[in-house]
Amino acid sequence: MTIALAPDSVLANRYRIVERIGKGGMAEVFRGIDNVLEREVAVKVLNERSDDVNRRFLLEAQSMARLNHPNIVAVYDVGVDQNLSYIILEFVRGKTLRETDRHNLTLDAALGMTIQVLEALQYAHAQGIIHRDIKPGNLMISSDNVLKVMDFGLARRMSDISNLTQSGEIAGTIAYLPPERFLGKSGDRSSDLYSVGVLLYELLCGTLPFPLDSGDLVAVMYAHVNDRPKPPRHVNPLIPASLERIVMRLLDKDPAHRYPDAASLIVDLRAVQTTRAAVISRLHVVETPAEQDSASLAELASVAPALSETPLSQSEETNVFKAETSGANTKTDFLASKTFSGALSRVMQGMMCARKQQWRESEDHYAAAIGMLTPLKHPSELARTYARLGGMYCAKMKATGVALPSEVSAARDYLNKALPVLRDKRLNADIREAEANLKALETLRTA
């Protein structure tokens, strides 16, 4: 639903609308003028009416209104007018980090940006608030190069998290979420720091630790939970070893092994900055080329081109997913998006159970996911789930050495259901795996 707020319309007899500057699934954002204080403001207007969405919107306002920090977008006012719920925010003239040209980004710039994010989080965490959705699209770079964290729409008071997080719900952007969120846990300070680790990895390496190149969301979730990311220096050898250790600690699967708080991480990142400054200073006074060679020239290098366009547009297959999920602006679509998140979580749990040879549990998770996905418009993910369930039966037969006719038949049916869609969407890796499983089943059937 698009909100009918024309230019020069006024909310609450105070805020004059100038132009629309952004639109999301739950709200639209306008540039406006506060007629009382005569300043530019951002006007965020909810475009949903459900109680659940209104509660989240109010929580966003309450959370952000408590925060007064130079690296956090400020909240000025909140209210309801013309049957529209709105929040009045600080207007930041600039671009999001996602929109910024990062090809000439230096290591010092990457560290500086990350430290500004952490200073904002250190302050918010001290107020009992975690952000839960740190990603480039939620980080504004102002015209005077000040980074500001915005969109605390997914923030929660820490004491309220267990009551507000629904079972199976996965909020935020999958590429940046910590593994505990995919396992049904709400997360804490260390969860925000994991997301910062993903961001820093991306700034340094020009790629995500778990890329979304294939558009396979469940595979990315599974990787966050189970796989160790490639060390940053394997991607960009010019990254200092001390900085690689920091990133890998941030990306640890166990929250207890990450940094305990943002303040400790800031200390270590500033130590990297200090070391680099000392190296640069030393290089300015060396006398011979041989002495220059002996200095740590690697410390002077710029990082690789950082943050290619938003991860959700890196491939044709991902664009298929975007086309399937675009336009979630109605109450029904919003609720469906939560069901979709829960379905992805079920698929990932099915994969994990199959890995542990917990066949019955795996089958139950896949069946639940299929039930959730069937009424939704996500043919790629439904087809992948069919293929994964068929593959699970094949893995079970191989592991147990028993090929029950009912399971052979079920596996073949699911794989044959999946293949037409996988071929239509050109999901080549999934096609190859499904075809290999079908071939194995034919061998079993004729044995």
- CA–CA distance, 156 with 66 (Å, rounded to integer): 12
Residue 136 DSSP class = G
Residue 138 tokens read as 């939620």
Determine the angle formed by the axes of helices 331-355 and 379-400, rounding to 10 degrees: 20
Single-letter amino acid, residue 309? E
344 near 381, Cβ under 8 Å?
yes
Phi–psi pair at 168, nearest 5 degrees: 80, -5
- Could you tell me which residues are beta bridge partners of residue 17? 32
Strands 139-142 and 94-96: antiparallel
Please answer whether residues 90 and 39 qualify as being in contact, where contact means their C-beta atoms are separated by less than 8 angstroms: no
C-alpha 340, offset from chain centre: 15
CA atoms within 13 A on the CB side of 133: 16
Does 133 qualify as catalytic in the annotation?
Answer: yes
Q: Render the burial of 118-144: b for 16+ CB within 10 Å, e for the rest.
A: bbbbbbbbeeebbbbbbbbbbbbbeee
Q: Residues 369, 347: contact at Cβ < 8 Å?
A: yes
Between CA 429 and CA 281 the distance in angstroms is 50
Annotated catalytic residue within 8, 77, 101, 133: 133
Sheet containing strand 15-23, strands side by side? 10-11, 15-23, 27-34, 39-46, 84-90, 75-81
Q: Which residues are tagged catalytic?
A: 133
